[in-house]
Structure 1
Amino acid sequence: MNATQQLHELGQSLWLDNITRGLLESGTLQRYLHDFSVTGLTSNPTIFDLAIRGTNFYDEAIQKKAAAGKSGEALFFDLALEDLTRAADLFRPSHEATAGVDGWVSLEVSPLLANDAAATVREAAQLHARAARPNLFIKIPGTPAGIIAIEESIFAGVPINVTLLFSREQYLAAAGAYMRGIERRIAAGRDPKVGSVASIFVSRWDVAVKDQVPEALRNRLGIAIAQRTYRAYRELLVSSRWRTLANAGAQPQRLLWASTGTKDPAAPDTLYLEALAAPDTINTIPEKTLLAFADHGIVNADMAADGGDAEEVLAAFAQAGVDDAALATRLQREGAESFSKSWSDLMAVIASKSATLAKGQPGGGAQS
């Protein structure tokens, strides 16, 4: 039993943080399901930008859709939904076997809507309806406007992956939005079972402070923030408010660890997987990290439900001048800006490929 299978036995889901048409057509994604116990995947604008820019798997589809008058966001969402519905069908057996707990794929709304709650709600509903798959999450960022959109989308019955969460407080805001949406559904006589996960970004913390802290604190901030958030998650699941919803038939909004590829070349490439092993959570990881962990990862003790030494570590960071509350706000803002830039880059590469292919020229990129 390799380390990925051990995590699965522990009760943690491993999802792939990637999607390309090549992964689907080569059978690689299917192999990951079988060999590495991968039970879902996530996507974002950066992933699709790299996939469409760096390969020619999409060229034929882009050429046909552009010739039919499609462009920009409309053309992109056609491509993304084609990939993600195929992936959702691969994971459908896992989704059904776990009664909807696992087996999900995720599609993000346009990052340009991060500060527009009403438009986010509309796009989330439209995309989920177009996908017509019960195991497809719509990703909404946990920004202030996003929190409003999350509650409204859950109330409308749209499964949501809350993205760009960086702290316990941001997680609790997302969890509150989820529970309010479920409570409103119960009050309205609707089915309280609507899927959701809350995604905490981990490695970006360590990148942000790598030049500001002593060597003894390197690569420890993201894990401490995750431990603190995990404690809040476990406490919420035994709270009277959540028990009331669970008794009515609601499913927990599971905690998901995101941004868990090691960024520091001097650190172990399995650092975050080994530190974040925790039941009833998800870890979504790049292919490189998945393969490394399957090869030489080690599953040690579960993450402590009480947060372990998180507060001691965070106190040491505070003494080193790190204001984690202010940094969480900054990281969320920068994350939204980064996805918006990737979105703009994505629209540009689709426009460029559409124009090039219309002239009968190759669109660039490699089959990979």
Structure 2
Amino acid sequence: MKATQELHNLGQSLWLDNITRGLLTDGTLARYINELVVTGLTSNPTIFDQAIRTTAFYDDDIRKKTAAGKSTEDIFFELAIDDLTKAAELFRPDYDATGGVDGVVSLEVSPLLADDADGTIHAAEKLHAQANCPNLLIKIPGTAAGVPAIEETIFAGVPVNVTLLFSCEQYLAAAEAYLRGIERRINAGLDPHINSVASLFVSRWDHAIGDKVPAELRNRLGIAVAQRTYKAYCELYDSPRWSKLAAAGARPQRLLWASTGTKDPNAPDTLYVQALAAADTINTIPEKTLLAFADHGKVSSTLPADGGDAEKVLAAFRAAGIDDQALAAQLQLEGAESFNKSWHALMQCIVEKGQSKSTGTQAEQL
């Protein structure tokens, strides 16, 4: 049995953190679904920048849409929604079989809205309506402005993937926003079953500190933060507050592990996937990591609901001079800035491709 199937049997969903039109047209995504039990997919501006910049699959569409006078941002979202709704069709059996818990894809609002709550709410509702796809989540960053936007978007009935969470505190703020949105829907007599996930980024912690800590602490900070967050997640959904909401028909906002590809070449390539095995969670992983885990990954243990040794490990990092609270804020800011950079590069790429002349068939260009 492949390790990916073992994780699925454990109760953890494996999502692919990638999308290109090629994955859809050559049958690769369908094969990952059938052979590796991939049950969902996430995207972000960096992923789409790479997909559009490095292939010719989108060129003709970009030229046609540019000639029709569409804005660069509208062109991008039309391209992205086209890809993601096709992917969503492949995942629809999982979505139906799980009652909407699994089998979903994610589309991010413009990262330029990270500090604009009203703009984020408007964009999320617009994209949700434009996609008209029940198993598509709208990604909203868990920034200070994003938190109130999450509540309002959930209240409006739009399914949300909260992105750019780096700490337990940031996760709890996003979870609280989700709960408030659901409670408001119940009080208003609306259906409380609105799908949502909260994405905690893991490997970026260890990449950020590099060799600034003793060897015995290398590549342990991200996992400790995840353990601490998982404890809070378990406690939240074992609380009287949640029991009341569940009785009214609400579904948990599932915890998702993001940034789980190993960045340290000296560490195992399946490090974070193996360390973060846990029921009722999601792991969205890069294609390279997915294939590595399917080939030689192991499921030997699961995350402890009590947080395990997380506090002890975090204390060791603090003793080594790492301020995890300050670093969490820094990582969220840097994550938002990275997506902004990718967004600007993506918009420029679309402008350039829209102005270029066709040089042959798609096959010839590839």
TM-score, shorter chain, exceeding 0.5:
yes
3-state DSSP of counterpart to 2:356 = helix
In 2, Cα distance between the equivalents of 1:226 and 1:88? 28
- C-alpha contact (below 8 Å) 2:182/2:192 kept by paired residues: yes
**Given the superposition, is the C-alpha separation of residues 225 and 76 from structure 1 closer, same or farther in structure 2, using an over 3 Å criterion?**
same
- Give the drift of 1:68: 1.2
- C-alpha contact (below 8 Å) 1:54/1:365 kept by paired residues: no
- C-alpha contact (below 8 Å) 2:206/2:218 kept by paired residues: yes
- Between the two proteins, the alignment pairs up a number of residues equal to 366
- Give the drift of 1:362: 6.2
- C-alpha contact (below 8 Å) 2:359/2:365 kept by paired residues: no
**Given the superposition, is the C-alpha separation of residues 212 and 367 from structure 1 closer, same or farther in structure 2, using an over 3 Å criterion?**
farther
RMSD of equivalent CA atoms: 1.3
**Given the superposition, is the C-alpha separation of residues 198 and 49 from structure 1 closer, same or farther in structure 2, using an over 3 Å criterion?**
same
Query: Which residue does the alignment assign to 1:346?
Result: 346
- C-alpha contact (below 8 Å) 1:40/1:104 kept by paired residues: yes
- C-alpha contact (below 8 Å) 1:227/1:310 kept by paired residues: yes
Q: Which amino acid aligns with 2:218?
A: R
Q: Does 1:43 align with 2:43?
A: yes
Unaligned 5+ runs, structure 1: none
- Give the drift of 1:61: 1.1
Query: Which residue does the alignment assign to 2:69?
Result: 69
Query: Which residue does the alignment assign to 1:247?
Result: 247
Query: Which residue does the alignment assign to 1:270?
Result: 270
Map 1:15-94 onto structure 2 (within 5 A): 15-94=15-94
- C-alpha contact (below 8 Å) 2:113/2:119 kept by paired residues: yes
TM, length-normalised to structure 2: 0.98
3-state DSSP of counterpart to 2:249 = coil
- C-alpha contact (below 8 Å) 1:166/1:331 kept by paired residues: yes
In 2, Cα distance between the equivalents of 1:366 and 1:97? 41
Q: Does 1:280 align with 2:294?
A: no
- C-alpha contact (below 8 Å) 1:56/1:363 kept by paired residues: no
Query: Which residue does the alignment assign to 2:14?
Result: 14
- C-alpha contact (below 8 Å) 1:21/1:57 kept by paired residues: yes
3-state DSSP of counterpart to 2:70 = coil
- C-alpha contact (below 8 Å) 1:141/1:164 kept by paired residues: yes
- Give the drift of 1:213: 0.4
In 2, Cα distance between the equivalents of 1:317 and 1:367? 50
Map 1:288-303 onto structure 2 (within 5 A): 288-303=288-303
In 2, Cα distance between the equivalents of 1:2 and 1:64? 44
Query: Which residue does the alignment assign to 2:256?
Result: 256
In 2, Cα distance between the equivalents of 1:191 and 1:266? 49
Q: Which amino acid aligns with 2:186?
A: I
- C-alpha contact (below 8 Å) 2:171/2:198 kept by paired residues: yes
In 2, Cα distance between the equivalents of 1:33 and 1:69? 38
In 2, Cα distance between the equivalents of 1:295 and 1:70? 44
Query: Which residue does the alignment assign to 1:96?
Result: 96
- C-alpha contact (below 8 Å) 2:103/2:135 kept by paired residues: yes
3-state DSSP of counterpart to 2:282 = strand
**Given the superposition, is the C-alpha separation of residues 367 and 178 from structure 1 closer, same or farther in structure 2, using an over 3 Å criterion?**
farther
Q: Deviations along 1:89-126, whole A, 9 cap, x unmatched? A: 11011001001110010000000000000010000001
**Given the superposition, is the C-alpha separation of residues 348 and 362 from structure 1 closer, same or farther in structure 2, using an over 3 Å criterion?**
farther
- Give the drift of 1:361: 3.8
3-state DSSP of counterpart to 2:137 = strand
Query: Which residue does the alignment assign to 1:120?
Result: 120
Q: Which amino acid aligns with 2:198?
A: A
- Give the drift of 1:71: 3.1
- Give the drift of 1:366: 8.7
Q: Does 1:194 align with 2:194?
A: yes
Q: Deviations along 1:122-149, whole A, 9 cap, x unmatched? A: 0000101111111100000000100010
Q: Which amino acid aligns with 2:25?
A: E
Q: What percent identity do the matched residue pairs reach?
A: 70
**Given the superposition, is the C-alpha separation of residues 46 and 104 from structure 1 closer, same or farther in structure 2, using an over 3 Å criterion?**
same
Select between 76-85 and 208-217 the one with higher mean Cα deviation.
208-217
Q: Which amino acid aligns with 1:321?
A: G
- C-alpha contact (below 8 Å) 1:353/1:363 kept by paired residues: no
Q: Deviations along 1:237-295, whole A, 9 cap, x unmatched? A: 10011111101000000000000000000000000000000000000000000000000
Query: Which residue does the alignment assign to 2:136?
Result: 136
3-state DSSP of counterpart to 1:144 = coil
In 2, Cα distance between the equivalents of 1:93 and 1:130? 22
TM, length-normalised to structure 1: 0.98
